[in-house]
Structures are given as C-alpha cells and as structure tokens.
Structure 1
Amino acid sequence: MVETTPTTAVNPLVVQHNALVNAKFDLNTHEARLFLALLARLQRTDTAFSKCQLLVREIVPSTGSNNVYDQVRRMLKDFASRTLTIEKLSSDGRPLKKPSFTVIPLLAYATYLEGEGMIEAQFNDLLLPYLLELRDNFTKAQLTELLKLKSANSYRIYWLLREYAAFGKRTIRLDELKAILGLDQEYDRFNNFRARILDRAQAELAATDLPFTYEAIKQGREVTEIKFSFKPVTPTQAIAAPGSNYSEWEAAVLAAGVSAASLPLIQARLAAGDYDLGYIRYVLDTVKGQVRTGKIKKEGGAVFKALTDGYLLPDYQQKQTAVVSKKKPTASTNPQRKKLLIELEDARNSLRFIQTAVIYTDETRAVAAAEVQAKIDQLEKQLAS
C-alpha cells in the first residue's frame, strides 16, 4: 500500500453525496464533530482518501486532564466501529433505478497519537463514490455554518434541509427521519421527540444560514410527517468559499446569465479535464456574437448548454488544432497545470479560513497557516516553472 502524507489542511466548503446526507447512522456529539472535521479535510482534487490528522482540542475543547484523553480513546473505539445504511450507486455515481441499500463501515481506522494530542483517521474506501469526484446529486455547505451547531441531530437535520435549499421546504415521514438520525428505537412519544430533537435543532439552526419552522402533520391522532419550511436559497445565493470572490471565469459566466447554482457542474467538467478555460472564453465570445446577430435570445441558457453539453467543443478543438500546428502548445493546455490551479485555489481558500476560524488557537492557527502557506508557495513555484 502506498504511504500517504497525513492531511491537516481544512477546506472551508464541505461536500457530500445526497445518498450520504440521507444515510441512516447514529453519531454522538463528539463523533459528529470528528466526522465533520474529516469531511473538511477532503479536497476537490482528491481521488483517494488520505490519512487525516487533527488536534484533540478541535473535537473536545477542554483538554486539561488525562480524563479527556481517556474519553477520546473510548470515543475513537466507538467511532471506528460505526456503520451506516446507505443507498447503493451506479458506476457513474447515480442512484439505481430500483433503490437498493447496503451497510458499510464509516472508517478504515481511527487512532489517538500518544504524546502528540492528535487524532488520526481515514474514511473507508467504500465511501469514495459518496465523497470524492462528485459531479451531481451532491449537497455542499460552509464549514463556518456547520461549526455553529452543537448536537449531532442538529447537524444531520441541517444537511437534510440544505439538500432542499432551493425549494424552501421539505416534508419527511417521521419514521424515516428517526431512522436517518439513528433514533428509530427511541422517542415513542412524539412530544419527547419534538422537545429534544426538533425544538433543539430549530434553536441551533436559528444561528446559521438555514433557520426553519416546522409543522407536525397528523393522520388521525398520530403524527406521521414533519414539514420543514425555510427561506429558499436562490441561484444567486449559491454557496461560495467564505472570504473569496468568484474567479474571473466564474464572474464572466454569471454575467452572461448562468445561475450560480450551475457553477459546480461546470467546475466538475473543468476538473475532469473535459475542456480548459480557453473553451469557456470561446463559448462566451461565440454566444455573445450569436446574441448580437439575433440567432439566440437567451444568452445564459445557451452558455450553460454549451458548457455542460459541450456542443461547441468540436469547433473549439478544430480552431485549437489550427493554432497548435503553427505554435508550440503552451502550459495552459496541460491537464496537470489545471489540476495545480485548482489545488492553488483550494489552498488559498483554506488559508483564509484558517485566519478567521474559531476552531484554532493562536498557536495552532500559526502552525496550520504555515503549513498551508508552504503548500501555496510550492504550487506557485510549480506553476511558474
């Protein structure tokens, strides 16, 4: 097995497949924090899981006694044994026509690094299609919002509502919600579930970007469904990395009338090497010319179709071939360079997050920032060579 360098850098944007959002598993508060910490260490360009390392104090804030470390060891033992019931996916990461579920372990391993005050863990490789190289059917959230939540159930409910952010409402059967939260054998009385789960989640999410109200829907005298209502997230309010503006090409695409919610689809095709930034510029220029001549009326729709379907790619590639025959290819057409640019963007976002996130002390912030800055310097050097 290839030895990998442990990952400690934090990604301010957390992403997971919708099947994982709706998976059935039970975590306590500390386990939920650890799960979130591991998610935040995944990078857009990852194709395999790396070992992740994080400080114990990131999971358990009070680390002043040996009892805390004993608690961490017990937590890791329980966390490493957690399984989840999750919907199977096809080879291209899509749900099967006939839903089928499987039970898989959450982690490959988890351990406490003696004398370092560090936790090391790695996701189970069976979770690869649910966490890496996602193209569609995924939900994303800002880490800064998730860190505001205190209970594991509030964290799961946040993700369930975030999946439906564009609609502003989600109705879930009560038995399904309890199963997703791992509470299907608890809270026979709805009043207890309301007070300890729903009301607490409502209070905690009120401090996030996703406050909600809910209604208990009855059949006869029995509550059978919960209807959640919240302010819908419009396309122009799509999540971006905190503290960062859109890149030049993203701003140009948005200015053409493409919704911000569509950017991940385009980013995925870029990351996959289906085309380069030159194609995006070509599409924008070509469509704008077609608008001027009256060939098309909706610029945004035409740009979106060209960038997701790639129907202008043959024309673009033909023009590029003509240029290449006269001129030596530049590094900008190199897939490796595109990968480095994505890594550089993610590293800069991570650095901005580290500089402001409350999960760091002055000491740990300096260490984490130095590590990410070193990576930025290395990437910039590679791109300049």
Structure 2
Amino acid sequence: MEPEERPTRPEGIRIFSGINGQSSGLPMDAMQTRLHEVAFLSNTFVRSPLALNNVEARIFALALGCLHQKQDTLAFRIHFNDITRGGSTGGKQYAELAAAQTRLTQPIINTSLKNGKKRRDAISLFNILSLDEGTNLITGEFNSRLKEHLLDLTGKFTTVELESLLTLKNAHSQRLFWIMRSYHNQTWEEPLPFETLREWLFGENSEQYADWTDFNRYVLKPAIEEFRAIGWQVDVTMQKRGRRVEALVFKMTSTRETLVPVAKAKKALTLTEIEEFRKMLEATYRELPALYDRLRLDFELKEYQAREVVQNIKDLTAYRSVTKVLHDVRIALANRKPIKSLPAYTLSQLKAVLPVYQTLGATPAAPATKKAPAVQEALRAQLHEVQERLKFVQKEAPTNLFSEQEKAARIAAIKAEIVELTEKLAQ
C-alpha cells in the first residue's frame, strides 16, 4: 500500500460545543509579527483528531508561534515563503496556499455517542484566514472558542520548541511530535491504543493506514527518523492481542542529555538541552521550571538570563526573594511606572537579591581515554543533530523567528559546536 499525499478533510476535535461567528477583518496592530521560540497547546487539543497535510501543518505551526501566552490576541500573520517556497513556479505557490486555506476553514466535525444517543459538533479552527498576493502574507485569527486551549495555559499543556517543530518535513511527523511530547513528562507509561492514534492523525472513520504494517512503514518509522535527526530518541513497545497490535507505549528521550551540565552562562542552549535543563530544575525544586517559564514569557528575559537566575536559586529563601521581586515588578507596571525595558529592569531588581551575572563554571574535562562504541555512536548522532540545526537556521528558518543578529550568533555557536563534536570524535 503506497503512502497517500493528502489526508482526508480535518475532522473531530473533541473539545467544542458550538461555532463562533465569522470575523470581517483584523486590526493590523493586533497581529504578531515576531515568532516566539516555544509553541503551546492544551493536552486536550493535542490529543484530538486533526488531519493536516504538509502545507496546512506548517501554517498551523507558524500561527501558533505568533501567539503569546500572556496576551489576549489570537491573530497572526505569516509570509508565504515561510510556508512554501515560491521561486519561479508562478501561481503554484498561491494555488497550494489557497487549497490549504479552503481545508483549514472548513468546519471540524466531531461525532460522539452517549447513552446510545449521537452528538455531532462542528467548529472552525479559525475565525478568518486571508491570503494577500500583493503583500505575500497570510493573516488570520484563531477561533475565540479555542482560547482556553491556546492562551494563558495553567493546567495540563504541551510545549514544543518551534525550531524543532519546523525542522520536521512531514505533517504526520509534526502531529506525532506533539502527541509524544504530551506524554513525555509523565512519570508513568500510558498505552496509546493504535486506533486512537490513527483517529488523532487522520480524523474519525478514516481508513488511511488501517493496517499496522503500513502505518509503521509509512508513518511511524519515518517520523522516528526525523525525531532522531533533531535530537530525540523514541522507543516503541507494542502491546498485542494475538497478532494484532492493540496499543503502543512511547518512550521519548533526548540524545544530548550528557551535554547539558557543560553549557556556559551566555551560550544559548539547544532546544533539546532546554528540555533537559527543565528536568534538572524540577529535580532540584519542583517550582523552578514554572519560574523559568515566567521569566522568559512574562518578563521577556533571554534564555541564558532566565537560566542564570534559576541556577542561582539554592534554597527556599532565595526562591521567595525572587518571586517577591517579580511581584514588585508587576506592581510597578500596574502603577504605570515608566519602564523602558522590562527585562533590563527585572534583572536590575533581581541583581540585588541574587548574583545573576555570575558565570557558571564548566565541568572539568575528564582525562582522554578511548571512547566506547556506544559513546562514539552517541557523538555521531549529536553531530548529525547539530548539522541539521545549522541547515535549518541558515536556509529553512522563517524570516521572523529571530533577528539577523540572533541568526548570526546562532550560526556561530552551532559551528563552534560542530567543531567541538568533530574533535571529540577524532580523539
């Protein structure tokens, strides 16, 4: 059975009870022009039927990247070339985007059964989705009925680094990445029924890849290979009834775990290192990952600045001092105190209670010894992941994911990392 290029119409997000009205237009000043590094979705949304092809998945990912957790706007704008390259293909690019626009604005259908009675819900992902060939922009707004699953998330939700998500070339891989990450931080293994996973990927009542052999060959294995290329190892355990695959248990681990403690204070962590850093914080004090997120999202600190703050919190007294400072900064904002730069002001206040500019010491190098084959293999995997990141940053990253200065700094840091890993492999 050959893989199908276009899935059926998106169907069945199980989180809605009605349809919001259409919007006639969007104020330009409400739109996000800068992508954020991390995208958020509630676990309920992640684990719902949503069938997308490659172009639609990229529009969805970039639209999520325009949302800020602490703002009310659900509006976004995206450049055509960040979704599909136009080149010299004439109207082909616009035709592809128009087809995606048509599918993404169709009602999403969910049919459920309770006490023998059917219930059918329909809702759209977006209030409006507009293509403008003159500006080469897609502008839009998520359906306001989805706001609780997109903004100001405080319960069970999933975060995905946008750079990792956009590096994935296949729509099925993007959806699987969200789904696996939603289970990643659980402390227990939860079997995922095979039919449920198919429903989430292809919509309800879909016959696409109904056979496990085809699903494994054309969907799961290619996705796992893509995950490995960006620094994630996925192990799959099958639960069978006879010869039939009933459920799957996924275990997702970073292939770069051993490199995390070596990162210096002002060297940007890789996306996989950030995830491991959060685990390390939680092992130290369970409130630290949430504080780390607040520093980055609410107070707009750079990643390395937030890291320096939380790594200097050694006890509960220090934690309370930091949270009091953040509370006082919020009060100052509420009282309309003139603050030119929120992150600079926040750091200046934190400096009084923590040595936030203290350089983190690197782990002493171990004596050179001949590396075991497993270590060599891990280093090669890490080198491949770093090379993929370099390719993405240089050629494939959306133009508004980071500034030219940040792009140049990332490229330089990644190239230095490649040199370091190459030297380690040669030892």
1:42-61, aligned counterparts within 5 Å? 42-50=67-75, 52-61=76-85
Q: CA 1:202 to 1:267, structure 2 compared with 1: closer, same or farther past 3 Å?
A: closer
Indicate the residue corresponding to 2:124 in structure 1.
Answer: 105
Counterparts of 2:225 and 2:26, CA distance in 1: 46
Alignment of 1:114-193 (within 5 A): 114-167=133-186, 170-184=190-204, 185-186=206-207, 187-193=209-215
Q: What residue is the counterpart of 2:51 in the other structure? A: 26
Q: Distance in 2 between matches of 1:223 and 1:195?
A: 14
Task: Please name the residue that 2:7 is paired with.
Answer: none
- Closer, same or farther in 2 for the Cα pair 1:214/1:2, shift >3 Å? closer
Aligned to 1:325: none
Q: What pairs with 1:218-257 in structure 2 (closer than 5 Å)?
A: 218-231=240-253, 244=268
Partner of 1:294: none
Aligned residue type for 1:158? F
Q: Which amino acid aligns with 2:105?
A: A
Q: How does 1:65-104 map to 2 (within 5 A)?
A: 65-81=90-106, 83=108, 103-104=122-123
Distance 1:331 1:195, change over 3 A: closer
Inter-CA distance 360–45: structure 2 relative to 1 (3 Å threshold): same
| Distance in structure 1 (CA, Å) of the matches to 2:140 and 2:26 | 16
The match for 1:205 among 217, 223, 227 is: 227
Residue equivalent to 1:341: 342
The count of aligned residue pairs is: 302
Partner of 1:263: 289
Shift of 1:105: 1.5
Rate the CA distance shift 1:198–1:69 in 2: closer, same or farther, 3 A. same
Alignment partners' CA distance in 2, 1:243 and 1:86: 49
Q: SS of the residue aligned with 1:211?
A: strand
Residue 60 of structure 1 deviates from its aligned partner by 1.0
Where do 5+ consecutive residues of structure 1 fail to align?
Answer: 88-99, 246-250, 274-283, 289-298, 321-329, 346-352, 373-385
Kindly provide the CA deviation profile for residues 307-332 of structure 1, in whole angstroms up to 9, marking residues without a partner as x: 99x8xx7xx99xx9xxxxxxxxx997
> Structure 2: 5+ residue runs without aligned partners?
1-24, 113-118, 270-276, 300-309, 347-389, 407-427
Q: Between the two proteins, what is the percent identity of the paired residues?
A: 19
Counterpart pick for 1:37 among 62, 80, 84: 62
SS at match of 2:232: coil
Displacement after TM superposition at 1:116 (Å):
2.0
Q: Tell me, in whole angstroms, the C-alpha distance in 1 between the residues paired with 2:155 and 2:51.
A: 26
Query: Which residue matches 1:380?
Result: none
Change beyond 3 A, Cα 1:271–1:27 = closer
Change (3 A) 1:255 1:188: closer
Distance 1:334 1:77, change over 3 A: same
Distance in 2 separating the partners of 1:261 and 1:86:
39
Scaled by the length of structure 2, what TM-score is found? 0.57
Aligned residues of 2:106 and 2:124 also touching (Cα < 8 A): yes
In structure 1, distance between residues paired with 2:42 and 2:340: 22
Cα deviations by residue, 1:78-124 (Å, 9 ceiling, x for unpaired): 1121527599xxxxxxxxxxxx9965311111111022222112111
Structure-2 separation of matches of 1:339 and 1:227: 50
- CA drift of 1:340 comes to 6.4
Q: Supply the distance in 2 between the matched residues of 1:256 and 1:126 (Cα, whole angstroms).
A: 33
- SS, match of residue 25 in structure 1: coil
Q: CA deviation at 1:75?
A: 1.5
Conserved 8 A contact 1:135-1:268: no
CA RMSD of aligned residues (A): 4.8
Deviations 1:159-210 (A, max 9, x none): 1221232348553111111111125522232111111111121111111232
